[in-house]
Structure 1
Amino acid sequence: MTIGRDGLTRQGFLGAALAAAVGGGAAAQGGTAPALHRRAIPGTGETLPVIGLGTWRGFDVGETPAERAPLRGVVATLLAGGGRVIDSSPMYGRAEGVTGDLVAEAGARDTAFLATKVWTSGREAGIAQMQRSLRLLRAERLDLMQIHNLLDWRTHLPVLREWKAAGRIRHLGISHYTESAYDAVEAVLRAERLDVLQINYALDDRAAEERLLPLAAERGVAVLVNRPFGGGGLLRRLAGRPLPGYAADLGSGSWAELLLKFVVSHPAVTCAIPGTADPGHMAANLRAGTGSLPDGALRRRMAADMTP
């Protein structure tokens, strides 16, 4: 039995979030929560739930109970709802350390799929930064290490391959979040063997559909999607509009769920990692990864509906 610093057993930690994770669904009434869709990482065959968690901004907090309590609920809700992927970075302030603490409290290191990044220049600086990430995330090895924004990628990629061969990381990849870098991202995807690409993609930010997502599928590279709500402006713009009729057909009770369903319905997408510090939002995000997903025709209709 694992007991966290707040005195909760792992079972209590997860059980406390179960009702939130299913959000009034079948499990809250004594049934079984809908299972998250899963997609394989082509290079290894390991499957991941299509909804995960990003830690940018939301997890950059201190150690007080008031700061940590909502995030403890977010992690518990993710795990209780069947999610695994938690993505962080050294550029996210204190997020790696907070993530490591909360995953350890949950006794979930063997369950969570921990991803972070190297974000510095130079071989020795990169190694030092990755070693620090291991300490902060309380892990002897990480599930995924990514070269953040392609910074000094020619130096870091050989090191990541060495670490993977030595068992210190299980997967390696690259990440970016700006369209202006897509030519460089495409060039690396074509030239190098990678396990994962992390890229921005949303209903109002579909440039990755043109070349990067098809190329990732062609090259056997899994795709993590950051910023699946775009810059947030789309959600604000849609807030006063009623949901379209097809939302009910998809089981979507909010615009956020509908937008996430669009993202994860793309066949090249492995997992979307929206950031949140709100357990209720985490629960809604998880619901988007269950049930029906838009087919090609509905995806085209959704894109047309959302075009200003």
Structure 2
Amino acid sequence: MTHDSTSATGPAAGEGPKPGGTGPLAGHTVSRIGYGAMQLRRLHDDRKAAIALLRRAMELGVDHVDTAQFYGDGLVNELIREGLGGQEDVLVVTKIGCDPNPEGPFPMRPAQRPEQLRASVEDNLRALGLEQLPVVNLRRLDRTSRLRAEGDQVVDLDDQLAVMTAMRDEGKIGAIGLSSVTSDALRRAIPVGIACVQNEYSLLNREDEDLLDMCADEGIAWIPFFPLGGAVPGTSKVTDDPAIRAAAKSLNRTPAQVGLAWLLHHAANVLLIPGTADPSHLEANLDAGTIILDTATLAAIAEAHPRPTETALAFR
């Protein structure tokens, strides 16, 4: 990862054990627990605290960070550039497919057209101070959600992959990932070379188990977002489930830690990017990688199940 000459030098990622062990991502070996930087936007009034949080994550062994230019209208990328600038051993993963929309009802808007994808890559390069983005995830809008592709934003996947592979050939992108994709889209994309998939997935939301298995078979990293559920009002939260809470009590851990530990145990290709703006939560998230779930505990956790409500179903 090469930064431009204006980047400051931050602390190197910790030399001790990696949180959760290690796994492959885009030809690199990284800690299985990384850091999802979206929550840094909550520290917009305290840049010093945001920088300190990033650097603390690196001190604890985190060596991959997930971001996007539409997080905080570019603020999060600026913080990453300032906090981690100059490090060769931290893999920055960003995503495109949406643009910031700070004045709108939702903080991002679709940006799916090929020329918009290219512009988003340039925006990320500039904000992060990089000559190449190590991994870029294409966020598709195939699924029913609060953010829909309509009109000229309905773009064929092949057209998007064409511009992304062109940017990879040009050296602007190191590797290509996908986000919020269907199994059909993943099958179509595999021939171009896919490094990772980011889909919503947790112990209580395993609808994409077939995609996870496909990724495992193809050597693709599976990086779940909303790994503890509760993404929208009315959806089940892993931390509220009685089976999870009982297991956490028996292990003297928090329900969140058990939910994250289950993901690491569930499949070897899982990498996690839990996000937080709180230093104590950061350390707790990373410590989840030390939890051993024995057969009896895994069987007890298997009793957990989602309990969707009418509110949740409205968002499907």
TM-score (norm: length of structure 2):
0.73
Contact residue 114 and residue 143 of structure 1 kept, 8 A: yes
Unaligned 5+ runs, structure 1 = 1-7, 19-31
Looking at structure 2, the residues matched to 272 and 134 of structure 1 have their Cα atoms a distance apart, in angstroms, of 24
1:158 equivalent in structure 2: 162
Is structure 2 residue 121 aligned with structure 1 residue 130?
yes
User: What one-letter code is carried by the residue in structure 2 that aligns with 1:173?
Assistant: G
Looking at structure 1, the residues matched to 116 and 306 of structure 2 have their Cα atoms a distance apart, in angstroms, of 44
Looking at structure 2, the residues matched to 70 and 238 of structure 1 have their Cα atoms a distance apart, in angstroms, of 32
What is the deviation of 1:284? Answer: 0.8
Change (3 A) 1:127 1:190: closer
What is the deviation of 1:216? Answer: 0.7
Is structure 2 residue 247 aligned with structure 1 residue 244?
yes
1:4 equivalent in structure 2: none
SS at match of 2:303: helix
Higher relative contact order (CA 8 A, sep 6+): 1
1:226 equivalent in structure 2: 225
Contact residue 101 and residue 138 of structure 1 kept, 8 A: no
Match of 1:60 among 41, 56, 74: 41
Looking at structure 2, the residues matched to 206 and 212 of structure 1 have their Cα atoms a distance apart, in angstroms, of 10
SS at match of 1:274: coil
Looking at structure 2, the residues matched to 92 and 38 of structure 1 have their Cα atoms a distance apart, in angstroms, of 27
SS at match of 1:174: strand
Cα deviation code 1:134-164 (max 9, x no counterpart): 1111211111111112573322212221222
What is the deviation of 1:262? Answer: 0.7
Change (3 A) 1:307 1:71: same
Cα deviation code 1:70-113 (max 9, x no counterpart): 3223212210111122112233332x443343443344532321
Contact residue 227 and residue 273 of structure 1 kept, 8 A: no
Contact residue 228 and residue 237 of structure 2 kept, 8 A: yes
User: What one-letter code is carried by the residue in structure 1 that aligns with 2:119?
Assistant: A
User: What one-letter code is carried by the residue in structure 2 that aligns with 1:104?
Assistant: E
User: What one-letter code is carried by the residue in structure 2 that aligns with 1:244?
Assistant: A
Contact residue 88 and residue 117 of structure 1 kept, 8 A: yes
Contact residue 75 and residue 103 of structure 1 kept, 8 A: no
SS at match of 1:226: coil
Equivalenced residue count is: 269
What is the deviation of 1:124? Answer: 2.0
Looking at structure 2, the residues matched to 53 and 305 of structure 1 have their Cα atoms a distance apart, in angstroms, of 26
What is the deviation of 1:184? Answer: 4.1
Is structure 2 residue 41 aligned with structure 1 residue 38?
no
Match of 2:79 among 83, 86, 101: 101
Aligned-residue sequence identity (percent) comes to 23
User: What one-letter code is carried by the residue in structure 2 that aligns with 1:110?
Assistant: E
Looking at structure 1, the residues matched to 86 and 58 of structure 2 have their Cα atoms a distance apart, in angstroms, of 8
Supply the RMSD in Å over aligned alpha carbons. Answer: 3.3
Change (3 A) 1:133 1:193: same
Match of 1:168 among 155, 165, 172: 172
Looking at structure 1, the residues matched to 165 and 67 of structure 2 have their Cα atoms a distance apart, in angstroms, of 20
Cα deviation code 1:11-68 (max 9, x no counterpart): 5x98xxx9xxxxxxxxxxxxx9654211123x63x21211112233x2335754x3x2
TM-score (norm: length of structure 1):
0.74
1:199 equivalent in structure 2: 199
Contact residue 78 and residue 128 of structure 2 kept, 8 A: yes
Contact residue 216 and residue 268 of structure 1 kept, 8 A: no
Contact residue 118 and residue 145 of structure 1 kept, 8 A: yes
SS at match of 1:154: helix
Equivalent runs, 1:66-81 vs 2, <5 Å: 66=46, 68-81=47-60
Contact residue 176 and residue 196 of structure 2 kept, 8 A: yes
Match of 2:138 among 128, 140, 147: 147
What is the deviation of 1:225? Answer: 1.6
Unaligned 5+ runs, structure 2 = 1-7, 98-110, 142-153, 308-316
1:213 equivalent in structure 2: 212
Contact residue 123 and residue 156 of structure 1 kept, 8 A: yes
SS at match of 1:229: coil
Cα deviation code 1:140-198 (max 9, x no counterpart): 1111111112573322212221222232222101101xxxx634444435665312111
Contact residue 177 and residue 197 of structure 2 kept, 8 A: yes
